[in-house]
């Protein structure tokens, strides 16, 4: 099959991790006789430097005219003081919104061989950690009206969080459908003891739960969820939540697997075209050092093959290659434990390619 992939390397470690994912995609294409063409576009801080805007029109157009988008990461301290309207993160949010990518899947699973890299006690890890966060991606406080104004010589800032029933229902449905392919349990996370948006969220989720009697269902408040994720993560299968709660909880969930560098994500809307990116950021503290973990990005590419291109075997082959490399004891610095073999970012990419 021929597929056209729009690629955004972005900032910080973005270019380093994307290079490794492209190597792996090329190896998979070779093995299974596909042809992937890559359209490299600028977005994020690097686009501000070149064009004065984080998302040039041509870059957005390239995201809307392709079979899927692969993204490294955007942002960094260099652009923290630019006008909020054009900051790097704004590009990412605009692409998500314009592509209509309302459901963001972020799996957090502990690889057996990486149990020692988890900061949790071995007896907690041994119970099994395999959860999937379904994060609403184009609503809530991220996209509500916001302003900063001066009142009585004092600045006052406002960010509005809003959700409508249909926005909640469509992502809820993704969660229930996905649970049917997993362990048939959904935990819906909200703050219904305080927020109206959460009370509406809960109402819609309960309606959906009745439609899916084969899926067991639990409501959980977000603060308790943050605690339960470290106390007893094996209780979770699919966790569905609104945009900002999902952002925060997915970084927490990533760390119990050993490192944020391991976690991929898919973002999808109505059709098959999606965006795929690791959940971490541009990691300015390690950028340019060739020590970042490329596995989250490589597994994001694997998710693209499975969810957007219907290439199940190809996707599985990449996952198997990652597993094989970890099983043989190869580690990047973030997941390194004593007695293992430490690899650079590019050497990890090469090793994974060698298993394909």
User: Is 106 annotated in some ligand binding site?
Assistant: yes
Residues 231-290 that bind Mn ion (CB under 5 A): 247
Kindly state whether residue 282 participates in binding ligand NAD, applying the rule CB under 6 A. yes
Supply the minimum distance, in Å, between the C-beta of residue 156 and ligand IPM.
23
Task: Give min distance, CB of 98 to ligand NAD, in A.
Answer: 16
User: Helices in the chain by DSSP H: which ranges?
Assistant: 14-32, 45-51, 57-64, 88-99, 122-125, 165-180, 196-211, 222-231, 243-256, 295-307, 312-327, 345-354
The number of beta carbons lying within 10 Å of the beta carbon of residue 214 is 8
CB of 253: closest distance to ligand NAD in angstroms?
Answer: 14
Interface with ligand NAD includes 73 (CB under 6 A)?
Answer: yes
Label residues 128-142 b or e (16+ Cβ within 10 Å = b): ebebbbbbbbbbbbb
- Helix (H, G, I), strand (E, B), or coil: what is residue 249? helix
**Contact flag: residue 283 with ligand NAD (CB under 6 A):** yes
Contacts of 305 (CB under 8 A, 6+ apart): 28, 311, 312, 314, 315, 318
Closer residue to Mn ion in complex, CB, 16/247: 247
Stretch binding ligand NAD (CB under 6 A), from 109-117, 132-140, 278-286, 301-309:
278-286
> CA-to-CA distance for 129 and 108, rounded, in angstroms?
7
Q: Of 107, 140, 281, 349, which one interacts with ligand NAD (CB under 6 A)?
A: 281
Residue 63 in the binding site for ligand NAD (CB under 6 A): no
Binding site members for substrate: 96, 106, 135, 223
The site for ligand NAD (CB under 6 A) is made up of 13, 17, 73-76, 89, 92, 260-261, 277, 280-286, 292-293, 296, 334
């Amino acid at each position: 099959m021929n597929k056209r992939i729009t690629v955004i390397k972005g900032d910080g470690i973005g270019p380093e991790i994307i290079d490794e994912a492209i190597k792996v995609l090329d190896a998979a294409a070779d093995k299974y006789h596909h042809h992937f063409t890559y359209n490299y576009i600028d977005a994020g801080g690097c686009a501000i430097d070149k064009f004065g805007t984080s998302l040039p029109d041509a870059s957005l157009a390239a995201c809307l005219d392709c079979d899927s988008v692969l993204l490294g990461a955007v942002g960094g301290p260099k652009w923290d003081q630019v006008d909020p309207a054009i900051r790097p993160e704004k590009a990412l949010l605009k692409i998500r919104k314009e592509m209509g990518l309302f459901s963001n899947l972020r799996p957090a699973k502990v690889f057996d061989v990486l149990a020692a890299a988890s900061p949790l006690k071995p007896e907690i890890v041994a119970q099994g950690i395999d959860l999937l966060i379904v994060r609403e991606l184009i609503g809530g406080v991220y996209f509500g009206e916001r302003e900063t104004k001066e009142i009585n010589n004092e600045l006052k800032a406002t960010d509005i969080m809003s959700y409508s029933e249909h926005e909640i229902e469509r992502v809820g449905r993704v969660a229930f459908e996905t649970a049917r392919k997993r362990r048939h349990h959904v935990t819906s996370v909200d703050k219904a003891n305080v927020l109206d948006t959460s009370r509406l969220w809960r109402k819609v989720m309960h309606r959906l739960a009745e439609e899916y009697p084969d899926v067991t269902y639990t409501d959980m408040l977000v603060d308790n969820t943050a605690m339960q994720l470290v106390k007893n993560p094996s209780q979770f299968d699919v966790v569905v939540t609104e945009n900002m709660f999902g952002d925060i909880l997915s970084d927490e969930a990533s760390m119990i697997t050993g490192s944020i560098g391991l976690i991929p994500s898919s973002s999808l809307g109505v059709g098959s075209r999606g965006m795929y990116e690791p959940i971490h950021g541009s990691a300015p503290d390690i950028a340019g050092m060739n020590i970042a973990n490329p596995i989250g990005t490589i597994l994001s590419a694997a998710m693209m093959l499975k969810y957007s291109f219907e290439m199940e075997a190809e996707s599985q082959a990449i996952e198997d290659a990652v597993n094989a490399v970890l099983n043989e004891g190869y580690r990047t610095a973030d997941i390194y434990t004593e007695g293992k073999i430490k690899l650079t970012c590019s050497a990890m990419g090469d090793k994974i390619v060698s298993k394909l």
